Chain A
Amino acid sequence: MDGVQGFMYPNEVELQWSVLIVLYPFITGLVAGAFILASLERVFDVEAVKPTYRLALLTALAFMLVAPLPLQLHLGHPERSLEMYLTPHRTSAMAMFGFVYLWYLMAVLVVEIWLEYRREIVLAWQHASGVTRLAYGALALGSSNISPQALRVDDRVGRIVTIVGIPSAFLLHGYVGFIFGSLKSNPWWSTPMMPVVFLFSAIVSGIALVMLMYMAIAWYRRVPVDMRCLDTVARYLLYAFLIDFSLEMLDLVHRIYEADESFKTLDFMVHSRLFVSQIVLQIVLGTIVPIGLLALVQGGRMGEGARRAVYAAAGVLTLIGIFAMRWNVVIGGQLFSKSFLGYTTYKMEFATREGLGVSIVLLILPFVLLAGLVKLLPPWGRATIGR
Chain B
Amino acid sequence: MGDIIVSMEHISKSFPGVKALEDVNLELRSGEVMALLGENGAGKSTLMKILSGVYTRDSGILHIFGKEYGNFTPKEVQKAGVAIIHQELNMCRHLSVAENMFLGREIIGKVVLNNSEMESEAQKYLDELGVSISPKQTVGDLPLAQQQMIEIAKALSIHARVLIMDEPTSSLTSREIAELFRIICKLKEQGCGIIYISHRLEELSYIADRVTIMRDGQYITSGNFKDFTMDEIIENMVGREIKEKFPRVQCEKGRKIFEVKNLNAGRLVRDINFSLYEGEIVGFAGLVGAGRTETTRAVFGVDPKASGQIYLDGEEVKIRCPADAIKAGIVLAPEDRKKDGLCTKLSIRDNLTLPNLDIVCNKAGIINKKAEEELCNKAINDLSIKTPNVEVDANTLSGGNQQKVVVGKWLVRNSKVVIFDEPTRGIDVGAKVEIYNLMNKLKQQGIAVMFISSEMPEVMGIADRIIVMCDGKITGELMAKDATQNQILTYATAFENKVGQNSGREEN
Whether chains A and B associate is: no
Q: Which of B's residues lie within 8 Å of A, judged by CB?
A: none
Q: Which of A's residues lie within 8 Å of B, judged by CB?
A: none
